Structure 1
Amino acid sequence: MSDYREFSSAELTEQARQLSGAASHLHTMAIRRKESRLAAREQAMDITGQAQSPDGLVRAVVDVGGMLTDLEIAPEALGLRADHLARVISSVTQEAAGRARAEVRSLYQPLIEEGLVGDLPVLLPGSLPKASATASPPPVDADEDEASFEETFSLRRTER
């Protein structure tokens, strides 16, 4: 036995008004989410990290992904043993990459807290997903040319 109830015109109008309001809210949130992701993406791509050795003889600059973009070695550092200089360069570069990662986290944290993005982008060294050697990239959909930076370069959060 079915329990059908007839709705009055006023009830249907009120339900339609509520649904329209909910749809408008969802649309506004989707636009805000997209705009926030795009703005964060643009800002993130300009992030660099810089560090120098305590004695100031080695200075490194890395891009947002931690790739070395500039290395300055003072002439005095060339007198160091090669293995020591290599350790200093490595240490300074890692510190610069850590600073770039911290800036990315700082940029995205408010967006994560607001629920506008789900994860940090995978610009951080060591966090690229493993891909099969035989896997081919998915086809590009013309409507998705503007796929979000986070959707393209993010990992699922893991419980800590």
Structure 2
Amino acid sequence: MTTAGDDRARLEARNAAMKDQMDTLLENFERQTAQLRDAQAAAAETTAQVSSPDGLVRATIDAGGSLAKLEFAPHTFERTTPAQLANTVQTLVRQGSLQVKQKIADLMAPITEGLPDLADLVEGAPSLAGLVPPIPAFDDVVEEAPRHESFEDGGSILRNEQAPPVPAPKPAPKRVRPPRDEDEEPPSSWMTRGD
């Protein structure tokens, strides 16, 4: 037989265990929040600097993946064509953008790795693990095939070199109604032919 004192002791023990569990959860939450804040601040300041293999072009890409700075060597325009230069700049911006994405993914990975699933927290809840895609690796750079169009070679950036179609003839102007006399009385019926 249990006494009221035994029940009370058991309840106090369960209360203490729940309090310890909540304290641990709150500490983990505060630690992860601080880590997330630090990672977000670092991600906002992330940049990538990339240079062309020949050293003629250097690009700096900001945290948003946009071109922040573009520098050319003094003799760049003597050693390359505009088409090659444009292709080099595009490639560098793409590479730098992928490097920034990878750096940000590396910053966020430690935070997202240890997060529990909803099914771990709430009994009977569905798992959300399959809904959130893993952070991909952005290291693989796929090179675009060079385009054979060049303004210098007399090429065209238009895909179709046919002449544009002839525009349709303008429609004939509408007839203008003659002005009505002010003396005219209203018709005996409002159902007129719409002159």
Query: So what's the TM-score if we normalise by structure 1?
Result: 0.66
1:1-160 to 2 correspondences below 5 Å? 8-79=7-78, 80-115=80-115, 157-158=132-133
What residue in structure 2 maps to residue 136 of structure 1?
none
For 1:43-84, what per-residue CA distance to the aligned partner results, in whole angstroms no more than 9, with x for missing partners? Answer: 111110110100000000011111110000123222322111
* Structure-1 separation of matches of 2:17 and 2:112: 28
The CA deviation at 1:96 is 1.3
- Give the deviation of 1:24 after TM superposition: 0.6
Moved over 4 A (4+): none
Unmatched 5+ stretches in structure 2: 117-130, 137-195
SS at match of 2:75: helix
Structure-2 separation of matches of 1:89 and 1:69 = 13
- Aligned to 1:59, the other structure's residue is in SS state strand
1:84-119 Cα shifts (integer Å, max 9, x gaps): 110001111111112111211221222222229xxx
Which amino acid is the alignment partner of residue 36 of structure 1? Q
RMSD: 2.0
Query: What's the counterpart of residue 121 of structure 1?
Result: none
Under a length normalisation based on structure 2, what TM-score does the superposition of the two structures give? 0.55
Q: Separation in 2 of the partners of 1:81 and 1:57?
A: 12
User: Would you tell me which structure has more helix in proportion to its own residues?
Assistant: 1
Residue 63 of structure 2 aligns to a residue in which SS?
coil
Letter in 1 for 2:94: Q
CA apart distance, 1:16: 0.7
- Distance in 2 (CA, whole Å) between partners of 1:66 and 1:73 is 20
Following the alignment from structure 1 to structure 2, what is the Cα–Cα distance between the partners of residues 16 and 158?
A: 38
**What code does the residue aligned with 1:25 have?**
T
Q: Distance in 2 between matches of 1:115 and 1:158?
A: 14
Q: Distance in 2 between matches of 1:157 and 1:10?
A: 44
Question: In structure 2, what residue type is equivalent to 1:92?
Answer: L
Report which of the two structures shows the higher radius of gyration computed on alpha carbons: 2
Identical amino acids, percent of aligned pairs: 25
